[in-house]
Amino acid sequence: MNKIIFGLLAISTLVFAEDGTSTIQAYSVLAAGVGLGIAAMGGAIGMGNTAAATIAGTARNPGLGGKLMTTMFIALAMIEAQVIYTLVIALIALYANPFL
């Protein structure tokens, strides 16, 4: 599996570099895509765990439902902020590439 991924990365560099695009820009595009994918996956897992814990807490003690929901929304905002930070870094790597 690792050989296949390495081969695809090596071939994609050549594909990106055909139009005069440098290798650094090609790797920046790949890094932005992979980084956003990993960040989105981590954010989705974190949001799912947060929602599951809130539902379980509300089921155990319905009187705390309001407080748990407020805490859940704050936690979801913090999780989503991490994904947005990754998006900002990816956009910087794509459009204002500091490595060039």
Q: What is the pTM of this model?
A: 0.72
CATH architecture type of domain 2-95: Up-down Bundle (1.20)
From residue 53, give the alpha-carbon distance in Å to each of 45, 50, 72, 83: 12, 5, 9, 21
Secondary structure of residue 18 in the 3-state scheme: coil
> In the numeric block, which tokens belong to residue 3?
């050989």
CA distance 95 to 77: 26
pLDDT in the model for residue 30: 83
Domain limits, the chain: 2-95
State the amino acid at position 26 in one-letter form. Answer: A
Burial of 28 (0-12, 13-18, 19+ CB in 10 A): buried
pLDDT in the model for residue 13: 65
pLDDT of the chain, 100 residues: tens digit per residue: 777 777 777 776 666 655 556 777 777 888 888 889 999 999 999 999 999 999 999 999 999 999 999 999 999 999 999 999 999 988 888 888 777 7
pLDDT in the model for residue 33: 87
